[in-house]
Every structure is written in structure tokens, then in C-alpha cells.
Amino acid sequence: MPFDPAVIRASFAVVERRADHMAKYFYAHLFTHNPGVRDFFPEQMDEQRDRLFAALTQLVLRLESPGQLTGYLEALGRDHRKFGAAFEHYPAVGASLIAALRHFSGHSWTAEIEKSWTEAYTVVAEVMTGAADRDAARSGSPAWWEAEVTRRRRGAPDVVVLTLAPDRPYTFTAGQYLSVCSPRVPRVWRPYSIANAPRPDGSLDLHVRRVRDGLLSTALVDDVMPGEHLRLGAALGDAGLVPDSRRPLLAVAGGTGWSQVKALLEELARAPRRRRAVVLLAARSDADQYDLPAVHDLVERYGPLEVLLAAPADGADHEAAVRLVAEGLREYGDRQGPDGWGGWDVHLSGPPGLAPSVTALLTALGADPALIRHDPVPETFNRARPLSACDWFLDQRDVPWINRTDLGRTEE
């Protein structure tokens, strides 16, 4: 590692308290000196600025772990192919990054600091472009796919199920997710779980819930119709079934988190070996159990499957739903014997708070943390813009990541 991690960390501590201002300066510098680059970014830049600083934070946190740093950067490099990022863009980004760091470091900026950041960015660019080049060289790995919406079904007032037909073969495994972009909201990407196991016709299902103030989710739920086209990024994530496992499976899903569990169950139903499976499907109300016909179909097709529906009474608050899930897991866990959920594979999928809380509960009920799988989970879920530098520094917020693979594991 040619650069000094201690120098990077110390200089980053100086500017992180002015993160929002620095991010604005960075993009202003980038677009002023490279006007054509503006076309690669969404019209509204708030989230993009958040992602910039969050990515810098992830980089700094991994400086002492070269393996993690490399994996993180390689994932970013592969994912940036769908934005049209090319080798010639990286020097421009590096120059604007150094300019922003220098400006907000003030008198603390030194030649040594500039040297370390320049060397660090050189490593970043080399790893990201190398990963992108290797990905592009692989047969059948385009930068993105165009997919026609062939069917839409309203599952609930704020949920829609979309069926997509990609323009070329789309490779994925059950349990993975993809990122989606619509011409209705240009250059805004969001991740959604693929709601089916691979099919002979290559079609994909997405379960989309409208998120408050969500740009893409609102368009997908309210506006996008059959015949329109969406752009898809490559499949990501590693929360699939454990290969060759003979252990029974427990899946806990909340809301549209059912989409990922549904894909896993379809894959399980194809396996020659029949494993016992228990699914606790939680919802905000009975009306929010939006895919019950598919649930019943899977129960009929897969004999060893049991599904427990958990929905509080209409008008109940969020805490009532949480208690209902906890009670169901405790009661059913007691039936498994003295080891509770010990020895079970566990898959969790749902709102951001589900995985951390259910992981803690199941661990207390005997589950092995090493056997619990889920997609990346942000530390918090506060999408309000910070009012000041202090707010930014003290209130860690969820950033709507495009690639969640290396960040923890969640469903929008």
C-alpha cells in the first residue's frame, strides 16, 4: 500500500464535519471543468452527494484491511459500468476530489497529505477500472440490460408486482437482487430483490412498494405500464440458499421482503432433496398480505413447507407488529425442542430494522449467527437532510445505495 493510512484518516477527520459542503464543492468543480460529465448524474443531486461521502467513509474505514478495501472497490467498479463510467473519467474525478479536500482542509493541508490522497486515489482508480474491464471481458456480461414490462399487478394500494422480459439472457441465482432505472426518472437507480427463481423464459418479477418521497418507487408503482422499458444492472448479493445444506430452513419476511423469500422457496421446491422449511410472513395488516395466492401455491407444491402469517389488527401500531413476530418466533421455537432454532439455516428479508432485531431475538432463541443470512442493512433509516454540519456528523443516515453487497444486507 503506497499511501499512509494514518495521514488519510487524520485529514479525513478534518473535512468530515463539513461533508455536505465538501460534496457540493466536489460536484461543482467536476461539472465546471468537465461539463459533459453532468449528463451521467440525476437531476436531483442530494442523494448523489450523500453517496460520495458515504463511499469515502467506507474507503477510510477499510484502509487497514486491504482485502476488504479491494473487494469493496471491485464491486464499485463493476457496478459503475451501468452508469457509463469509463477509464477517461477517473482522472477528472480524482482532480476534483483533491481540489475539494484541499479547499475544506484549510491551513491543515500539506504536501504530504496531498501526496497520500493522490496515491490513495490512484489505487482506487486502478482497482475499480481493472474490475470493470474484467467484468466487460466476460462473455455475456453487458453493462446493463433493457427489459420490457410485460405485466403489472396491483398487490396492495402501495405495492405493485412487475414482470420483466430482459433483452438478452440475465444470469442470477435465487436470493439475489438487481438495480433498476426508468426513463421516467433518468439516472436514478434503486435495488430490488428478484422475486423468482430462474425461469425457462428468462422473465423476472419485482415486488415494489411505494416509499414516501421515493422517486423511482413512486414511478414504478403509480405510472410504469406494460410495454415500457426499464434498465437493469447485473445481479448482486450473496443471500441465497446455502449450497448442499441439509439443515431445515427458517425464513422471516416482512412486507415486500417476501419477494426474496419467494425466490428461495421456488428454488427449494426444485431441489431433489426435500428440506423442512418454515416461513414467518409478517405484514402491517391483513390487507398488506398482498401475495397470498402465491403463498398458497407454494404450500401445495412443497410439502415440507409451513407458513405462519403474522399481521396485527387494523389500526395497530408498528410495535404491535414487532411483538407479534417475536411471539411467533418464541412460540414456534419452543416446539423445536431444547435447542430452539439451533441448527437451522435462517434467511431474513424486509424493512431495514427487521434483520438486526430478528437476528438478536433468534440468537437468544438458540440460532447460530453464522447460519443467519440477509442482504445489507443500513445502520439507521433517516432520510431527512441534515440541517447543519453537526447534524450530519452526529446523525448517521441511511444512504439509498445502488450496490448494497458490501454494506451489510435490506429491502426498500
How high is the pLDDT of residue 199?
97
Report domain extents, the chain: 5-137, 145-232, 249-375
Highest mean pLDDT among 51-65, 245-259, 394-408: 245-259
* Higher-pLDDT residue of 278, 314: 278
Lowest mean pLDDT among 25-34, 52-61, 95-104, 179-188: 52-61
pLDDT in tens, 105-122: 999 999 999 999 999 999
Q: Hey, do 145-232 and 249-375 end up sharing a CATH topology, with the first three levels equal? A: no
pLDDT in tens, 119-132: 999 999 999 999 98
Residue range 24-34: mean pLDDT, rounded: 90
Contact in structure between 410 and 375 (CB atoms under 8 Å): yes
Residue range 197-210: mean pLDDT, rounded: 97
Instruction: Provide the CA 195 distance to its chain's centre, in angstroms.
Output: 15
**Position 359 pLDDT exceeds 70:** yes
Q: What CATH code would you report for 249-375?
A: 3.40.50.80
Residue range 241-264: mean pLDDT, rounded: 95
Helical axes 89-105 vs 111-137, angle rounded to 10°: 150
| CATH code 2.40.30.10 for 145-232 | yes
Q: Please give the Cα distance from 21 to 293 (Å, whole number).
A: 50
**Position 371 pLDDT exceeds 50:** yes
pLDDT band at 337 (very low <50, low <70, confident <90, very high): confident
How high is the pLDDT of residue 298?
95
* Mean pLDDT (the chain, rounded): 86
Sheet with strand 189-193: strands edge to edge: 189-193, 177-181, 229-232, 145-156, 159-166, 204-209
* Higher-pLDDT residue of 82, 206: 206
Q: What CATH code would you report for 5-137?
A: 1.10.490.10
The number of C-alpha atoms within 13 Å of 218 and in the hemisphere containing its C-beta is: 8
Place of cell 427463481: 197
How high is the pLDDT of residue 71?
86
How high is the pLDDT of residue 205?
98
pTM of this prediction? 0.79
Among residues 89, 96, 87, 86, the alpha carbon closest in space to that of 30 is found at 96
Q: Report the sign of the C-alpha dihedral through residues 224, 226, 231, 237, in that order.
A: positive
Contact in structure between 177 and 375 (CB atoms under 8 Å): yes
pLDDT band at 320 (very low <50, low <70, confident <90, very high): confident
